[in-house]
Chain A
Amino acid sequence: MRARLKQSVIAGVGVTFGIAMFITLLGFMNGLNTLLDGLMLNRTPHVRLYNEIKPSPVQPLSLSKDFKNHVNFNRSVKPKDRGKEIYNSKAIIAQLKNDKRVIDVAPKVTAPVFFNTGSIEITGVVNGIDVNAEEHLFKLSDYIIDGNLQDLNNENNTIIIGKGLSEKMMVKNGDVIQITTLKGGMIGLRIVGISQIGIAEFDNTMSYTSLRTAQILLGESSAYITDIQVKLTDISDAPAAAKEYRARFGTDAVDAQTANSQFETGSKVRSIISYAVGITLLIVAGFGIYNILNMMIYEKMDSIAILKATGFSGNDVKWIFISLSLIIGIVGGLFGLLFGFALSSIIDMIPFETESLPTIKTYPIDYKLMYYMIGITFAIVTTTIAGLFPALKASKIDPVEIIRGK
């Protein structure tokens, strides 16, 4: 049965091609996914604590003893301005830092502001950040394309602005810009850096300054914090942690999964597409094997008859064909893994430089072992199934009919 080497090789090449494409596609798609997720997730805290402006959940009426046994309707409830400040932020931060799940905590002050340039005002946001904590959690320095993040710490009244902002205002590193808060406070800050995160919405509005500068800008004390950003060891703990913090600290808390749900959907769709294409390729390869084995059986009728006449049972014949397709599957599959890996490595070396992704130099590839396992398993499963039907057919061939046929 070792003849038809050429056909077997062709069948094997089909499997190889299927597996190689499967591996490459999955590696590439998921590389992109990780990149895009990373783009988002590296920039967002796993849990963010903040205060939303909203009505008090307990209205005074409910507290009144007189109306305790009544059903109370309150109309025209107005939100109460508790301010965006997180009270007792020092204590909260201290507690968070003691939490075992937490890697680090970065406090932040955000405030909507106007950037003044000439007679125009551009709306934007100032983020007062703890430079070291921010760097530790989000590698912010990766996104500073001009200037130095540490200068925010080293000099007072300095600011780093997004690339989009700098282009709109036509300012560059070293220039001084005027900033007005909503309450009318005004301050001049010197630009020490330009940032580019790769998301236009951010780069057109965001600016960074030190915590202290932001507090001064808003006329607040050094205890004033509007956001506490938390990074966890395991991001999958985020929803549970957010819920717990909400109860414990009496603030709002949102986890990364909720904040970025639309991103997750995109990733999932991309994964599904690549699995579907990969599996389709393998199934096509499976049909190829089925065809070739079927043809082989017709050509090898005589041989099968001889084998049976000389004492091979139907089962033996079946196993010959199943092992043949298994060999095709395993050898083709292993070569597929190899070629898939090679192809991935080639893609991995192709330069991929875009303005918006400053940290990326080549196309991203995910070399997860899982894909290789799935690939080889699927290769073996499809080829076995593809071989099974021809093998069963071969095992049922009646030698008498063949010998008579001569």
Chain B
Amino acid sequence: MPETILKTVNINKYFYDPVKFQVLTDINMQIDKGEFVSVVGKSGCGKSTLLYILSTMDTDYEGELFIHNSSLTNKTDKHLAVIRNEHIGFVFQFHYLLAEYNVLRNVMLPGIKRGKYSIHEIEYRAMEHLKNLDMQDQALKLPNQLSGGQKQRVAIARALINDPLIIMGDEPTGNLDKKNSDMVFEIFNNLVRERNQALLIVTHDPEFANKTHRIIEMADGRILT
């Protein structure tokens, strides 16, 4: 039986402003190790909202969330920060990099926060990830000296630095052209093949979704398939 990485039980979420309104209804889903899952659905159906809950950044929901079979519902901010740091890699649509640090430092940051390895070790690992993404030449540049595709590769390297159980992405290719999107897909695909990495990617690109193992389709805050 495959190893379960992430599981939700009856997650419901409401927004109260300006009026009470249910964004997510009875979300039950499960992602196993080595699975490459995409989430699709119309704009405004609640994909991002779901992803924020799954990534533990949003704690205001009903139901229960498990990562590696341990419940993350009603845990402290500190505990969740540790979970995010060690087990979840996040890639955004916009390239959230720290403008004042160079590429290498940006990749190293979650590793430094974790404090499991020495700075030297972290630097070595960060360089390895950058090499795999063909970014080793850019390591000492500042983020504003990179192209969009390059920035996204840095963000992916950063998501990988602590060997997370799962990588989540909210439209990571949404801002990229065809060529760069294909490259990002290839990177993800390699991670699945070579490291048996679990991936959960929200996308608007049907071509991208069709190449993944499984597609979760959402409409009006519910999972259809």
Contact = CB atoms under 8 A, between A and B. Distances in A.
B86 A311 contact: yes
A3 B102 CA distance: 12
Contacts of B99: 3, 303
A406 B93 contact: yes
A316 B81 contact: yes
B84 A404 contact: no
Interface string A98-124: 000000000000000000000000000
A310 B57 contact: no
Given A403-B92, A404-B48, A313 B100 contact: no
Query: Of residues B85, B94, B97, B162, which shows the largest number of chain A Cβ atoms within 10 Å of its Cβ?
Result: B85
Interface string A303-315: 1011111111111
B57 A306 contact: no
Nearest to B97: A306
**B: interface residue count bin:** 20 to 34
Interface in B25-63: 48, 52, 55, 57-58
B111 to A, nearest CB: 10
B84 A309 contact: yes
Contacts of A400: 52, 57-58
Interface of A is mostly: helix
B52 to A, nearest CB: 5
A302 B99 CA distance: 10
A190 B109 CA distance: 91
A284 interface: no
Contacts of A404: 48
A4 to B, nearest CB: 9
A313 B81 contact: yes
Contacts of A1: 100
Query: Of residues A307, A310, A406, which shows the largest number of chain B Cβ atoms within 10 Å of its Cβ?
Result: A310
Contacts of B92: 309, 403, 406
A248 interface: no
A183 interface: no
Interface in B94-111: 94, 96-100, 109-110
B113 A312 contact: yes
Contacts of B97: 306
Nearest to B82: A311
A307 B113 CA distance: 10
Given A1-B100, A403-B96, A310 B85 contact: yes
A2 interface: yes
A399 interface: yes
Interface in B158-177: 158, 162, 170
Contacts of A313: 77-78, 80-82
B88 to A, nearest CB: 8
A310 B48 CA distance: 17
Contacts of A312: 81, 85, 113
Contacts of A308: 57, 81
A400 B90 CA distance: 12
Given A2-B100, A3-B100, A303-B99, A314 B93 contact: no
B114 A311 contact: yes
Interface in A304-332: 305-316
Interface string B71-82: 000000110111
B46 to A, nearest CB: 12
A298 to B, nearest CB: 15
Interface in A269-309: 302-303, 305-309
Interface of A: 1-3, 302-303, 305-316, 399-400, 403-404, 406
15 contacts: A2-B100, A306-B96, A307-B109, A309-B92, A309-B96, A310-B90, A310-B113, A311-B81, A311-B162, A312-B81, A315-B77, A316-B113, A403-B57, A403-B96, A406-B94
Task: Give the 10 A-B CB pairs with smallest separation, nearest first.
Answer: A311-B85, A313-B81, A3-B100, A310-B110, A311-B84, A306-B96, A313-B78, A400-B52, A406-B94, A400-B58
